[in-house]
Amino acid sequence: MTINERTMPPLDGDERTNLAAWLDFYRETLAMKCEGLTDAQARTASVEPSALTLQGLVQHLSEVERNWFRRILAGEDAPPIYGPSAGAGNHDGGFELSDEVSFAAARATWRDEIARARANCAQRSLDDTSAFGPGQVSLRWIYTHMIAEYARHNGHADLLRERIDGSTGV
Domain of residue 145, residue span = 14-31+51-165
Q: Specify if 69 maps to a domain.
A: yes
pTM: 0.91
Q: Specify if 41 maps to a domain.
A: no
Q: Specify if 156 maps to a domain.
A: yes
Q: Specify if 21 maps to a domain.
A: yes
Q: Specify if 40 maps to a domain.
A: no
End-to-end CA distance of the chain: 7
Q: Specify if 124 maps to a domain.
A: yes
pLDDT in tens, 12-45: 999 999 999 999 999 999 999 999 999 999 999 9
Q: Specify if 37 maps to a domain.
A: no
- Tell me the one-letter amino acid at 50: S
Q: Specify if 100 maps to a domain.
A: yes
**Local structure of residue 4 (DSSP, 8 states):** G
Got the DSSP string for 45-100?
A: -SSTT----HHHHHHHHHHHHIIIIIIISS------SSSTTTTTT---TT-S--TT
> How many domains are there within the chain?
1
CATH of the domain at 144: 1.20.120
pLDDT in tens, 56-99: 999 999 999 999 999 999 999 999 999 655 444 555 788 999 99
Which has the closest alpha carbon to 138: 33, 15, 38, 47?
15
Judging by DSSP bridges, how do beta strands 129-132 and 135-138 pair with one another? antiparallel
pLDDT in tens, 106-143: 999 999 999 999 999 999 999 999 999 999 999 999 99
